[in-house]
Amino acid sequence: MALTRLKSSGLDIRLTVAASLSPERRRALIAEHARAGLRESQDINRAALGRVPDHDTFVDGRAEAPLTSVNPDRGVIVFRFHLLSQVIQWVDAMLVLHSPVLTERYARSHAWFADGKEMDPMSPPAGAEQFVVMNAQPYARKIERGQSSQAPDGVYEGVAAMAKKRFGQVSYIGFGYRSMRGGAVGEWAGSATASDLARDVRGGDRRKREDWLTRQPAIIIDEGR
């Protein structure tokens, strides 16, 4: 059995080729089916992104090897598309667009992380598996609950829903809450006022109280499975 995976397309194609055929013929059939799957995946990406993104090819773990060099019995062909940067930049732009602008502090405080390390959304690092954006302001949760007249429906959950509708076929996009220990929210969490609030409202273990104080609305993006 041969397997073709098209990362960021949602396609996973398994092919069984008759063992009675020659190895060369089996390789040719596997390559043909892989190309068909690639074209289908490119059509999906074109519909979502408006263009066909570049991709890398791996044949049995070898980068850019000919498709016809695949193992005819247990071969694996992977096409990995370069498209998350477009999703990230669109989400970043929408977060700024939908941010309350009374002081612009919130709009300037969207912070992006790639596998836990802060990054520039205009140049996401290659090879990262998961991207997360949160707002560094301690009042971000209040805004998400609709306690801003300029954003009565919140910001992050709405942008995540729009992004999922637009890009859901080519990537995973989710909304949730993540702990952010840096930025203004981290400074606030370390204050006596925040410590007293967490003790009175949450009680229990100090570490859990710190986690509660720093949990911020977040959008999570990865290739999906």
In tens digits, the chain (225 residues) has pLDDT values of 666 666 656 567 777 877 888 999 989 999 998 999 899 888 888 887 788 888 889 999 999 999 999 999 888 898 888 778 889 999 999 999 999 877 789 999 999 999 999 999 999 987 788 999 999 998 898 899 988 888 888 999 999 999 999 888 778 999 999 988 777 766 655 666 666 665 656 665 566 666 677 788 999 998 765
Closest C-alpha to 168, from 83, 97, 93: 83
Name the token pair of 114.
Answer: 């790639």
User: ∠ CA 131-132-133 to the nearest 5 degrees?
Assistant: 130
pTM of full prediction above 0.85: no
User: Tell me: the pLDDT tens digits for 134-146?
Assistant: 999 988 988 999 8
User: First and final CA of the chain: distance in angstroms?
Assistant: 20
Fold topology of 2-81? Ubiquitin-like (UB roll) (3.10.20)
Domain ranges of the chain: 2-81, 84-222
- Specify whether the CB–CB gap between 79 and 57 falls below 8 A: yes
For 33-52, the pLDDT digits (tens) are 899 989 988 888 888 778 88
